[in-house]
Structure 1
Amino acid sequence: MDNRQLHAFIAVFEERNITAAAKRLFLTQPALSTTIKMLEDSLGTPLFIRQPRGVEVTEDARILYPHARRMVAEMEALTQSFKRERNRQPLEIGIENDIANSQITDFLHHIHDPEFNLLVNLESGCEGDIRFGCEELRCEDELFLPLNTEPFILAMPSHHPLAEKATLTLSDLHGLCWIMCPKLSSHQRLLPIYGATANSPAANAGTFSLALCLVTQGLGVAIVPESLASEHPQIITRSLPGHTLSRRTGVCYAIQSLTQPAVSQLIQHLSQ
């Protein structure tokens, strides 16, 4: 019993007519009849009884039919599985620091689209065919496709005095114990908010994520992207008064990487 015989059997069973089944399978009637006869011989039982106008199915044919449909479906699924695996397109993606898990999840949701059939390799940092990160970190020769825009907010421990205020004023920011990230490109934009205390931080951190760890320990307050602060439910956040600082996160990619079908298709999909 092979796949060809099963397809022939299913066609005759469903059509109840050798001529119609032969047309459906693009076979001649003699070829189809021979295939059915070979199947009947291998099973040791008749499956169809010829009538003046079509065929009558036997009880054994009724028993075989659901099994034949299942076996054909499983073989087709297995074949497609091997073809799909062979045609998968590799795509290496770098994930920069200080990207919230929620934004990474949303980004990967797009990549998971079955139409891409990608073999994804995630790496941390400045790696890969494309990178998911902050616009400020893109290289000079890279293009940037924005996917998210978010504000910078003030993050503080739950016991901080300002946590009792729903809305802050500019005067509330004076003299705070700031946790700063001087190595980050956004640091220069935050200096006017730090004011006179810019040279005397309560602590420094290499990333916003590390700064938030210091905030949870009560070492001070920090200005961080909203999405990162939302991952710490024990932290209190407030909008920055008098300032509309924001950042964009998205895909950084070199124009030459568009020669790769995986990159080209993904960028086109994300741009819609």
Structure 2
Amino acid sequence: MDKRQLTAFIRVFEERNITRAAQQLSLTQPALSATIKALEEELSISLFIRKSRGVDVTEDARVLYPHARRMIDDMSGLVSRFRKRQDKLPLHIGIEEDIASSFLTDLLAKTSQDASGMLLTLLPGCTGDVRLGCDNLRCEDELFFPLYEESYVLAYPVGHALGQTEELLPEELHHQTWVMAPEHESHQRFLPFYGHSADKPGAHAGNFSLALDLVEAGFGITIAPDCLVQLRCALASRPLPGYPMMRRIGICYAAQSLANPAVEQLLDSLGK
């Protein structure tokens, strides 16, 4: 029993006339009759009684009809559901490491109403049609659409003596044990805070999140983006002494990615 047989049965049942049913299905009368006969043989029942004008339906046909209608409706619903999903514009967004979840949540909230026609895929790292990342880490040929500004702060364990100091001077940091990320682009910017302690680190980390893990474990203090520190209950923070240091978070994308309508739609929804 397949969709073709059920559709033929439903049309004949509703029309009570094989000729009209065949015309509506774009079939010849013999082809329609053969389809009905195959269904009857499969179910081992009779569905229609031929008359001089049209057909009569049997009791078995009356029982089958609502089930057949439901089965056809279910099939059509499945086709529509998956076809609609396939018709969506695919958009892959890479999420760079050390981006706080609050930024991603806000980005998705801003675009959710305009994303109904997109099939959105989130991927970790430097990949995708566009990326949610830091301005300083974009590739040379990439464009940048700024969304957020975030301060760098001093991060240390709760109860650390740095939290008791009312006015913190840069020189006081030169005697601290530091967790550093020497391979990170920010390292050179932080050297004035390290002072001579830069030669005697407490530990090294590959990114801010790992540096904060080390701080929680007691390896020293570090400098990290404010939103990442706020996620850590065991850590406290305070502004860096002197002029505030910031980073910009936004959408990194190559000019050629604008050929993807979903990228253009995303940027438009963000107010490009």
TM-score by length of 2: 0.68
Partner of 1:6: none
Aligned-pair distance for 1:77? Answer: 8.8
Partner of 2:148: 148
Partner of 1:179: 179
Aligned-pair distance for 1:243? Answer: 2.8
Structure 1: distance between partners of 2:198 and 2:268? 43
Partner of 1:135: 135
Matched residue SS, 2:210: helix
Aligned-pair distance for 1:167? Answer: 4.2
Output aligned runs, 1:99-178, within 5 Å: 99-178=99-178
Partner of 1:204: 204
Matched residue SS, 1:163: helix
Structure 1: distance between partners of 2:263 and 2:189? 33
Segment of structure 1 superposing worse, 159-168 or 259-268: 159-168
Aligned-residue identity in percent: 45
Contact 1:146–1:251 under 8 Å retained in 2: yes
Contact 1:93–1:122 under 8 Å retained in 2: yes
Aligned-pair distance for 1:200? Answer: 1.4
Structure 2: distance between partners of 1:151 and 1:144? 19
CA displacement, residues 30-65 of structure 1 (integer Å, 9 cap, x when unaligned): xxxxxxxxxxxx9xxxxxxxxxxxxxxxxxxxxxxx
Contact 1:84–1:117 under 8 Å retained in 2: no
Output aligned runs, 1:237-248, within 5 Å: 237-248=237-248
Partner of 1:63: none
Matched residue SS, 1:127: coil
Structure 2: distance between partners of 1:168 and 1:79? 65
Partner of 1:188: 188
Aligned-pair distance for 1:107? Answer: 1.6
Output aligned runs, 1:1-272, within 5 Å: 81=81, 84-271=84-271
Gaps of 5+ in 2: 1-56, 58-73
Contact 1:95–1:124 under 8 Å retained in 2: yes
TM-score by length of 1: 0.68
* Alignment RMSD (CA, Å): 2.9
Contact 2:97–2:125 under 8 Å retained in 1: yes
Partner of 2:32: none
Structure 1: distance between partners of 2:190 and 2:92? 33
Structure 1: distance between partners of 2:193 and 2:132? 28
Contact 1:145–1:271 under 8 Å retained in 2: no
AA at the equivalent of 1:126? C
